[in-house]
Structure 1
Amino acid sequence: MRPNHHLDDATVLSYSAGALPTAMNVVASAHLEHCPHCRERLHVAEQIGGTLMQQQRGDAPGQDERNAMLALLDQEPDAAPAPTASAIIADAVEPPDRDRLPTALHPWFGPSMRALKWRRVAPGVQRIRAGGVAGGELMLLRIAPGSRLPLHSHGGTELTMILDGAYDDVLGHFGPGDVADLDGQTLHQPVTAPGVPCVCVAATDAPLVFSGWFARRLQPLFGF
């Protein structure tokens, strides 16, 4: 996995401060396991947190230094260092295990993709809900290849990481390791790629907002 879509700056800062709700924290942790770029941004965010604590003690660095740290956190994904030759060789020799779920998901779903017990909630859509998550929903979704989901926005925040397969929407192409960090302003209609099902882990803090009347009528049945 070499993600191309990353966590929002605000999400990275909240994660570093321990302020993310449980469901969002799980998905962010899963992405960080596979994303060197976001781990570097997290390191910078932790530096920023240390700087703010120093400011409270009256021992803050200069404003220019603080601005430089914020600029580092705000770098675009293509500014991340290119993978080293040794990392590329390692990937070629030891391809990722597609059956293994990210470690952050193990307490909620177990370690194995093959062992999951899916429940059908709509044509072409299967789901597993995590129990005992306060303040939001944490779920795995398995969507059949070539499926077009209803056009929708979000009543709150949604954080989704692709585990296998892919989908496309107005924000681009999302493949394994990519994360969609969405708020209520995003209107999109994911279309899963052909070939294999799209499996993702999603965290939400409010129901989705469907645009079509038919999807809105069926929403209570699906539980989204």
Structure 2
Amino acid sequence: MKPTHHLDDATVISYSSGALPAALAVVASAHLERCATCRDRLLDADRIGGVLMQQQRVEPPTEEARSAMLARLDIEPAIAPEPPAGDMGEDHDPDRLPHALHPWFGHSMRALRWRRVAPGVQRIRATGIGGGDLMLLRIAPGSKLPLHSHGGSELTMILDGAYDDMLGHFGPGDVADLDGEILHQPVTSPGVPCICVAATDAPLKFSGWVARTLQPLFGF
């Protein structure tokens, strides 16, 4: 099944230029592995960026730009130009995590060691990522998450299962590219847990007072 929800244009451009925070770049990279549409868009952004650089006077890169370029080089090899068996093809191993997640969570979904953080919600948080917060979430089927918005940007990619919210139905390979303007309440589909990888560059903003009170305990 091919993804139907994709990276925002601004995210693709930021990824191309090396300006995307590291945690968000990992999720973007994981989606790019399984989405030919976004890989084509990234190639277009790279070409446009190359033309613009040629038109500008060549100057030594700033230390910040150099660090961003090096960070992207650490992530980009995980993006396969032609993923084996196509995008989410019949030979895709549902137990195997995207390559971009291997340095942070290992190779196998089956081998993950989850930590319960709320009723029906388990989490594994990456350490040492820098530039945002990166985590895997496993949410019980039929669960309704608290209504929330975002203090900054959030990228969430579905690895298994599905959820629905005001933006539509999100299944394996889909990515939710959200900013502070979006207020939503994901509801996971029945049957199997929804497993996703999520990255944020600022804490979530919960609407209900109970969720706000418990937020420091959950660490979202």
Aligned length, in residue pairs: 194
Determine the structure 1 residue equivalent to 2:194.
198
Q: Which 4+ runs in 1 deviate beyond 6 A? A: none
Verify: 1:33 aligned to 2:33, yes or no: yes
Determine the structure 2 residue equivalent to 1:155.
151
Determine the structure 1 residue equivalent to 2:45.
45
Q: CA separation in 2, counterparts of 1:91 and 1:158?
A: 27
Larger Rg computed on CA atoms: 1
Which residue identity lines up with residue 139 of structure 1 in the other structure?
M
Verify: 1:178 aligned to 2:174, yes or no: yes
Verify: 1:91 aligned to 2:89, yes or no: yes
Verify: 1:222 aligned to 2:208, yes or no: no
- SS of match in other structure, 1:44: helix
- SS of match in other structure, 2:145: coil
Determine the structure 2 residue equivalent to 1:10.
10
Which residue identity lines up with residue 24 of structure 1 in the other structure?
L
Q: CA separation in 2, counterparts of 1:164 and 1:27?
A: 15
Q: CA separation in 1, counterparts of 2:25 and 2:44?
A: 18
Which residue identity lines up with residue 96 of structure 2 in the other structure?
R
- SS of match in other structure, 2:116: strand
**TM-score (structure 1 length as normaliser):** 0.83
- SS of match in other structure, 1:120: strand
Determine the structure 2 residue equivalent to 1:68.
none
Verify: 1:142 aligned to 2:138, yes or no: yes
For residues 107-165 of structure 1, give each alpha carbon's deviation from its aligned partner in whole angstroms, at most 9, with x where no partner exists. Answer: 00000000000000000000000000112100000000000000000011100000000
Verify: 1:188 aligned to 2:194, yes or no: no
Provide structure 1 residue ranges, at least 5 long, that are not aligned to the other structure: 59-85
Determine the structure 2 residue equivalent to 1:55.
55
Which residue identity lines up with residue 17 of structure 2 in the other structure?
A
- SS of match in other structure, 1:141: strand
Inter-CA distance 41–147: structure 2 relative to 1 (3 Å threshold)? same
Determine the structure 1 residue equivalent to 2:101.
105
Q: CA separation in 1, counterparts of 2:180 and 2:114?
A: 28
Q: CA separation in 1, counterparts of 2:22 and 2:111?
A: 24
Deviation at 1:56, TM superposition (A): 1.3
Moved more, 37-46 or 12-21: 12-21
Percent identical among aligned pairs is 78
Determine the structure 2 residue equivalent to 1:24.
24
Provide structure 2 residue ranges, at least 5 long, that are not aligned to the other structure: 59-84
Q: CA separation in 2, counterparts of 1:207 and 1:134?
A: 15
Which residue identity lines up with residue 109 of structure 1 in the other structure?
F
Verify: 1:114 aligned to 2:113, yes or no: no
